[in-house]
Structures are given as structure tokens and as C-alpha cells.
A = this chain, B = another copy of it.
Amino acid sequence: MTDSVKFNRACVIGVGLIGSSLAHAMRTAALVDEIIGVDRDADVIARAQKLGVIDKGETDLVKGVKGADLIIVSTPVGAIGAVAAELASAADDGALIIDVGSVKGVALDAAKAMPERVHFVPCHPVAGTEQSGPEAGFASLFHDRWCILTPAPRDDDAYKAAVDKAAALWSGVGAKVEIMTAEHHDLALAVTSHLPHLIAFTIVGAADDVESVAAGEIVKYSAGGFRDFTRIAASDPVMWRDVFLNNKEAVLEVLGRFSEELAVMQRAIRWGDGQALEDAFTRVRGLRKAIVEAGQESAAPNFGRDDKPR
């Protein structure tokens, strides 16, 4: 694995939260000389340019990627296939293409379909916020977070070198790199990201459903726990639609486990089985401690958000 890496011209396709964060981060770490933005929305391009995220912008992908030795596909997952198909002919020879999509099966398919002359390495930085758009990006987003690579099954040295370069890029912006199969990624992330989002969307939606409790009351008493769920439920609907459409099997599989566990809890409540509830609640406490110790979470009570004098 190369320790440092440098690109002449990066082209970011889809200048949103992740694309602009990576642009900021690469600039901060001096990993790139010039950054071109491509977005189907000219307004996004204009805003990103004004913010200094990109040097130049293009709504035309073919023009935008010309001369780029690094192409970052940071669109929603549903667009990766079509963008990759365009890149198959539009990308310069030898270009490194990475995506940042939250589902890797679909990116792997796109990577496999690429001609040998370009090198598509599917990537997923496990980092983000509930916000979107170029304004939401910031350079330190990937610090101490994991980035998972799911390379295509290619044995040629050029591709292997491209995987190393991709890994060095993510290390260069502060991330820790892991390599695994797309299949395993999609199951692991169904557990740690996709199901949590689905449940958050669902619980926030279900709250509206209890007729005798007014929306105003839900707002007022949300500090009882509900507000935690509204954070990830505020995430971009299109991005998440695409995640569920493209990781159906794994999500349905972990959802089945969740539903079983919920049925056990429901029965314990119905039967008034305090011991079963207490045991179940006690068992889950260790995981947060491990997450805090691994540097993946704040140790402060309430995530530190109630930043009042103590």
C-alpha cells in the first residue's frame, strides 16, 4: 500500500455532502491540484464554486471528466450505474474511479462492467451527517472513521495499484481503511446503518399516527428520547430510497431479526415479565461502551448536545 498519493485533477460527480467533504479534505491534505465539479444541477455547481469546494464546474459529465486522473462518483446509489456507464467511454485512460455509495453490490457490478483501461474501486466512507448539499461538507468528516473498499475481482497490476491508491487517498483524509467483499459490506451496513435509518424513519412516521397525541406534544416532549431518532430521519429521502432499493435482501434479512426481537420484548411487556426486560436491557449496555472506547462516539451524556453549564 502506498503511503502517500497525489492527483493532478479530481472530478467530483455529485457535489453534495460527501463529494464536497472529500473535496475539502483532499485540498486540506494537499492530495490534489485541481478539483472539477460535475452536477446535474447548475445551481449546485455555482454554490460549490462560491464555497471554494471546486475550482471549476460542469453540468456535462463528458466534458467535466476530461483530463481527470481521479473521478469521484458521489451521487445517490441509484445513479452510480448510469454514471459509470458514461465513464466507461468518457474517462481518461488509467483514471482511478471511486464511488462513495452506501451500498456496494451495485457499485461492484458497475466496477466489473468497466473496460480494463480505467480502474473503478468501490468505496464507502462510513461517515456522514443528516445534512446534504455542498454547504454541508467539511474537511474533517472522515477523520477516524472507517472507509470500506470492495474491489472488483481483477488481478492485473494496474488495478491492484489503483486499489492501493484509493486506500492511500482515504488514509490521506484521515480515514481507516478496510477491504471486504461487497456482499459482506452490504450485510454489515444493513445492521449498522440501513436498519437504524429505516427504524428511525418508521418511528417518526408512526408518532403522527396516534390521533390523541398532538404533533405539538411530540415536539414538546421529544427530549424524552424521540428527538434522537429525528436526526437520522432528517436524512435525504432520495439517498435513502436508493439504499433500500439496492440493498433489499440484506435489509429484509436484518429487519426479520429485529422483528423477532421486538416480538420477544412485546411479549415480556404483555406478560409483565420484569426479569426478561431487565436482562435484555442490561445485555445491550456494553456495546455503547465499546463504541465510545473505539473513538466512534462521544462519551458526553446526551451526545454533549445540551451544552449548558454543568
| Interface, chain A (partner B; CB < 8 A) | 102, 126-131, 136, 138-141, 143, 145-146, 148, 178, 184, 187-189, 191-210, 212-213, 215, 217-235, 237-238, 240-242, 244-245, 248, 251-255, 257-262, 265-266, 268-270, 272, 274, 277-285, 287-291, 294, 296-298, 300-310
Contact = CB atoms under 8 A, between A and B. Distances in A.
B227 A212 contact: no
Nearest to A227: B297
Given A191-B226, A230-B288, A257 B296 contact: no
A269 B281 contact: no
A208 B220 CA distance: 34
A103 to B, nearest CB: 12
Given A195-B203, A252-B266, A278 B227 contact: no
Nearest to A302: B129
Contact of A207 (B192, B228, B281): B192
A207 B287 contact: yes
B281 A201 contact: yes
A283 B205 contact: yes
A290 B221 contact: no
A302 B208 CA distance: 24
B198 A265 contact: yes
Contacts of A219: 287, 290-291, 294, 296
A247 B3 CA distance: 57
Contacts of A234: 284-285, 288-289
